[in-house]
Amino acid sequence: MSLSASLLEVERLSVAYGRVEAVREISLSVPEGAIVTILGPNGAGKTTLLNALMGILPARGRVRFAGRDLAIRTIEGRVADGMSLVPEKRELFVSMTVEDNLRLGGFRRRGTAAFDETLHRMWRVFPRLAERRTQLAGTLSGGERQMLAMARALMSGPKLLMLDEPSLGLAPLIVREIFRIVAELRDAGVSILLVEQNARAALELADSGYVLENGEVVLQGPAVDLRGDERVVATYLGIRAAAGA
């Protein structure tokens, strides 16, 4: 990994639901052009962290994106800055067509050449969506919904794409497809913050990673090191990986 500047810089971020702190003083950084993964069991605070980064949840601490402090930035302001979140629940416009969902994804760039260009690229990257262009988003399968949510998030031309459990509930073949696309996106210059349960796939793809437990970072480092770390192997990669390593 080169020593390029950090695109996203998070310092001592805490998020509380009432008096319960779901995320405690997390610091992390996403370098430009890197894939950073966040691992951890259910309830570790991974989704809470992403939602706070996107401005959906109020948080304490400092978040800088592309050199700008996000303290009072709204969700749509962060989208304009170049952040894009694919939320765990996808949040698609279910009663609208696949194409409308995509076009709305580029709402802020409507009427520009970049808008048309990105739309065409999305049809190429996600041929299954192109086949279902006029179908309502609510009628898509789980994998197709995930693809649509990703494509919609990419329509705004983000510098940083945040993916919340993109493989959740999907068949292995589709998961592989989605991870292949994530790798392509990185090669195209998009930085990625990837929250995953599927630690094996995530660590193969990522440049670096953080392990969250009970709202705190318990482990962090380059993905190569994490793949070899005993705790990670035991907890997240299982026996088979341990035998392989």
Partner 1 sequence: MDLSIALILLQDGIVNAAIYALLALALVLVFTVTRVIYVPIGEFVSFGALTLAALEAGRVPGTVWLLLIFGIAAAAVELWSLRQGGSGRRIVGCLLRNVVGPAIIAATVALLAPAKPGQLVQVLLALAVTAPLSLVLYDTVYRPLANATVLALLIVSVALHFALVGLGLIFFGAEGSRTAALSGASFTIGPVFVTGQSVAILALTAGLIVALYLFFDRTLVGKALRATAVNRLGARLVGISPLFSARLAFGLAGLIGALGGILVSPLTTIYYDTGFLIGLKGFVAAIIGGLVSYPIAAGAAILVGVLESYASFFASELKEVIVFMLIVPILLVRSYGTTVLEDEE
* Chain contacts with partner 1 (rule: CB under 8 A): 54, 56, 72, 74-76, 79-80, 84-85, 87, 91-96, 100, 103-108, 110, 152-153, 155-156
Helix (H, G, I), strand (E, B) or coil at 163: strand
**Residue 97 beta carbon to partner 1: minimum distance, rounded to whole angstroms:** 10
For partner 1, the closer CB: 84 or 146: 84
For partner 1, the closer CB: 11 or 76: 76
Helix (H, G, I), strand (E, B) or coil at 113: helix
**Residue 78 beta carbon to partner 1: minimum distance, rounded to whole angstroms:** 9
**Residue 213 beta carbon to partner 1: minimum distance, rounded to whole angstroms:** 27
For partner 1, the closer CB: 72 or 239: 72
For partner 1, the closer CB: 155 or 223: 155
Which CA distances in Å does 11 have to 8, 27, 55, 77, 207?
10, 4, 15, 20, 20
| 3-state secondary structure labels for all residues of 168-227 | CCCCHHHHHHHHHHHHHHHHCCCEEEEECCCHHHHHHHCCEEEEEECCEEEEEEEHHHHH
Are the C-beta atoms of 205 and 35 separated by less than 8 Å? yes
**Residue 161 beta carbon to partner 1: minimum distance, rounded to whole angstroms:** 12
Token pair for residue 63?
């978040």
